[in-house]
């Protein structure tokens, strides 16, 4: 099974940027739909963005559209989440996850669809 490790989190002021990385080992990420999720204190985990393995179709939560961008670099076996114009409400632990879905299935924003998870990376946006 693929193993995932997130990095790139940190403390940033409102309006700043961060780029999160999700590095995979054991198996190529190209065989998976990849999702980014986040969980704020006291709240449920929510889908932020995902990228489909067939054609790199991307999906975004409405609150991050135009500010976040997900991408895949197969040569590095890594998926990135570029986060711009960060807001305090973006604060939380960010997780990447892999879904070994049937080829051609569009990635999902539901955490229930994902089998493998990273350990998470903390993002804190100060006002």
* Helix, strand or coil, per DSSP, at residue 52: coil
Q: To the nearest whole percent, how much of the chain has pLDDT over 90?
A: 86
Q: What is the pLDDT of residues 37-50, one digit of tens each?
A: 999 999 999 999 99
Residues whose CB is less than 8 angstroms from the CB of residue 109 and which lie 6 or more positions away in sequence, other chains included: 35, 47, 50, 59, 61
- 96-117 pLDDT, tens digit each: 999 997 777 899 999 999 999 9
At CA 80, angle to CA 105 and CA 102, rounded to 5?
Answer: 15
Report the Cα 101 to chain-centroid distance in Å: 17
pLDDT band at 1 (very low <50, low <70, confident <90, very high): confident
């Amino acid at each position: 099974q693929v193993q995932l490790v997130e990095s790139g989190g940190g403390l940033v002021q409102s309006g700043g940027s961060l780029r999160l990385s999700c590095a995979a080992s054991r198996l190529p990420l190209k065989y998976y739909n990849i999702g980014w999720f986040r969980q704020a204190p006291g709240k449920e985990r929510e889908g932020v963005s995902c990228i489909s393995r067939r054609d790199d179709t991307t999906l975004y939560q409405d609150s991050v559209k135009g500010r976040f961008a997900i991408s895949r670099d197969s040569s590095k076996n890594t998926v990135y989440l570029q986060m711009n114009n960060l807001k305090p409400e973006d604060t939380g632990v960010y997780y990447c996850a892999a879904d070994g879905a049937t080829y051609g299935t569009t990635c999902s924003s539901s955490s229930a669809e994902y089998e493998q998870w990273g350990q998470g990376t903390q993002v804190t946006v100060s006002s």
